[in-house]
Amino acid sequence: MSELTQQHCQACRKDAPKVTEADKKTLLKEVPDWAIDEIDGEEQLLKVFRFKNFTGALAFTNKVGELADSEDHHPAILLEYGKVTVRWWTHAIGGLHQNDFIMAAKTDAAYTEPK
């Protein structure tokens, strides 16, 4: 399990620094199944989680919501039958902060593969 799961998000201001290219490479090793995607000029972490049905996908969505509230850092979540797409980025800075990688690791830890 990633050491990031043991960390907590820090409050982010508009002048907080985005992660550097070197930081991204290091942090992505901690959350290897996540991709960096760019939407409207903002980098975001993206991952699709698969489930056998809607009920499993909904339960996972609720887990991610609880994690987000506990850290006061909130993702974009798309819930569909059999899958959940999660996107983490820091709205205040318009890109990626270490908080996003922390939350990606916590999201991974909350996921249980369908049997």
pLDDT of residue 12: 81
Write out the two tokens for 49.
């989680």
pLDDT of residue 1: 54
Instruction: Encode the chain (115 residues) as per-residue pLDDT tens digits.
Output: 569 898 888 888 888 999 999 999 999 999 999 999 999 999 999 999 999 999 999 999 999 999 999 999 999 999 999 999 999 999 999 999 999 999 999 999 999 877 7
Give kind and range of the element (H or E) at residue 104: helix 98-110
CB–CB of 47/85 below 8 Å?
yes
pLDDT of residue 103: 97
Q: What is the pTM of this model?
A: 0.93
| 58 burial type by CB count under 10 A (0-12 exposed, 13-18 middle, 19+ buried) | middle
Written as one string, the DSSP assignment of the chain is --GGGG-------TTPPPPPHHHHHHHHHHSTT-EEEEETTEEEEEEEEE-SSHHHHHHHHHHHHHHHHHHT---EEEEETTEEEEEE-BTTTTB--HHHHHHHHHHHHH-----
pLDDT of residue 114: 76
Q: Hey, what domains does the chain have and what are their CATH numbers? A: 19-110 (3.30.1360.20)
